[in-house]
Amino acid sequence: MPDAYTLPLRCLRFRDAFREQKHIIIFLFITLLLPLLRQNIKSPSLLLQPNNLKESEETLGSIRRPELSIFECHMILSVSILCFGTALILIFIGVTCYKLHIIWYLQMTVAWLRAKAKPAVRNAGAILRYDAFVSYSQHDAEWVEEILVPKLESSEPPFALCLHKRDFLPGRWIVDNIIESIESSYQALFVLSENFLTSEWCRYELNFSHFRIIDENNDSAVLILLEPIAKETIPKRFCKLRKIMNSRTYLEWPQDEERREEFWHNLRAALRREDY
């Protein structure tokens, strides 16, 4: 460990050595670095000369500026307009599908294609399970179950009726049940009311029955008006019902009890098969 007497001597030696090296560093700077700086660095006075200005403009002109699209220049605004426009288009499509019942017609088309792909249940001369498939709104179930069904199933000869509440197979898709029940019945009996016109499944049953009428060119639909319905008030989506009502007669449920016997007589005659 150096003592206090040797420290001043060492400092003097270090100072003398630094002075010698300082001259060497200055010499190297003058001989090597200064010429390089003179070649690469121009003073402001030289840059302001006309020739140098022209060279600078040519140099800047040779640099290709990046070309940006309007979308890139206004990224946030463009994305906002794009999202807003897409939302408006989706809303317009949704409202149009709702107003024109496009979703329902697509479902009907898919269901009907599935039904056509299956082997037909009805064949010429085949014995079917039911005399009539009864299509009605759940709101009219009391009239159907307490008046219509007992009157027809207890008559002579009795009629075998198919009711969705009683005869549909549980666990199956309801559209498959509807198609198979209509295909397994000689007739389709529709109990029409204001409630019928608001039922989605009644529309399915009516359209499938109408498809069968067109395919087989037969008279397999019987209409009962449980209450007066003006044809003008029938919704557009029930266009098949309008065609059926215009092409065939229908029975009206009389409010007068004295006329009900005639109603039952005409209904049995409409449902009676040729082999009875």
The predicted-structure confidence for 146-181, as pLDDT tens digits, reads as follows: 999 999 999 888 999 999 888 888 888 777 788 888
pLDDT of the residue at 101: 67
* 99-103, 123-127, 237-241, 249-253: segment of lowest average pLDDT: 123-127
pLDDT of the residue at 4: 42
Q: How many CB atoms lie within 10 A of CB 238?
A: 19
Confidence of residue 141 (pLDDT cuts 50, 70, 90): very high
pLDDT of the residue at 2: 46
Q: Which residue has the higher pLDDT, 4 or 164?
A: 164
pLDDT of the residue at 1: 44
Q: Which residue has the higher pLDDT, 125 or 101?
A: 101
Residue 47 has pLDDT above 60, yes or no: no
Contacts of 168 (CB under 8 A, 6+ apart): 174, 177, 181
Q: Which residue has the tokens 């697509």?
A: 106
Q: Which residue has the tokens 């498939």?
A: 133
Most confidently modeled range among 9-13, 40-44, 125-129, 158-162: 158-162
pLDDT of the residue at 44: 46
Residue 253 has pLDDT above 80, yes or no: yes
* 8-17, 79-88, 112-121: segment of lowest average pLDDT: 8-17
Q: Which residue has the higher pLDDT, 201 or 275?
A: 201
What mean pLDDT comes out for the span 97-108? Answer: 72
Prediction pTM value: 0.57
Q: Which residue has the higher pLDDT, 115 or 255?
A: 255
Q: Which residue has the higher pLDDT, 65 or 110?
A: 110
> Cis omega (within 30 of 0) on the bond before 157?
yes
Nearest by Cα to 254 from 136, 147, 159:
147
Q: Which residue has the higher pLDDT, 137 or 20?
A: 137
